[in-house]
A and B are shown apart, each in its own frame.
Chain A
């Protein structure tokens, strides 16, 4: 009788502990789900969700499941801040993974700092996020930044038989920074290069004809663009009609993920095959690791898409880093996790990535390649596609 009683008491005492262990780890994800940036934000949120679903199926991390709450930040810094604070104050999230634009990232970073909550940014590229005066213990980035992107592009363009280069970029932080990084680096590694023209359409421009005409009047031999998403589709349709790609003999590189499968797929036959582009991921990346091929199979099934989005991987990697850090810290506590993230190396589908201690930036490079028409697919792909390791570009 006493044995039974003891067991009962022990079970009752264990119950709150067990209940505590059963409580899910809550992660908040403010990311654009509407507007032009939804093209990236929605798949990224799905990639994150897939990782969480798979992890929970295996029992979660530290015996606890992860609960992901995704909210629309509308690609608006103001909204992102509001959403982030609601997630913290109302939903009581333990961590934040998200944001997309270069304005959202630093804005939410401040919220994370004041609330002492770990914030992993999977997409914003602005250097400002991890700049020395803005860095704090709780912000981390697993995306490439504009310095890495601009310099990687410079290395590629330097190998082309061209000296007269024109740039076209949106007139805001991302466009300005990536162009600056490109120009500075290429002048360093190939001093004979001359930047003959720079065009700055406003963010969200719909009519690029005047800019393209003005650029072509200066007769560049190559063009470096960072026009992204649906705007790249608009831009290149207009550019192709005006014969711009022919005029520069397809010595064109489209930063801002113009080589991504989404873009080539949506444009179909209109895509200016022969240009260079970059992308965070490509389902057709043949020389990738078995881990990547496995990931591609899973994301393809999850998204119910034969040619899955290239943006899902960023959400996936963001969550992966968080989960691994929780495991390493053996606690779902922001203080411990923030220390665990420093120098953490994770085997992601895109290869081994490490968050360096200096600026909380992961060495996340991107895939670069020249687009070709491949019979196997109804759209162009980058081939050969190379992963450019950005480690040497990071100061």
Chain B
């Protein structure tokens, strides 16, 4: 009887050791520096509904609508030159409108349907580099960028974003509308225009 007890105790210890070892095998560390999993990466293209303020999904949806509409339009048939002008933020929130325009510009440049020129914001850096190459005396003539050869934009993209906020004790409704216009710079005429509307409703 005593011998049976000892054998079963040994088997029990063995099973316990195997279980611990197998448990250790399943707990491989992942290539992260975070110990606690309080932060995780998500899908940057997922629909974000954390709050009803202006968010990443709104930015991406606006950019997609504007780019799609512009690419379809025959005004881009001959690969014209465009520049970005400002987007007025008429909402009650802080919105980085430059970020919306950068997303639009990225898609347009990658489509190879337009040539984007420096915007007014980006001009000083270009001027500085031209002056460095031409006036510093450091560079040989061959390959030097010449002053006076910049291509002027034929069209400029301008726009505005507005919002209407309504709320009662239980519900908050926000309506965003972004309008984008393509102006012929020489003529001052609007050659293309598009709007994107977004409605977001949340319960308090």
Same complex for A and B? Answer no
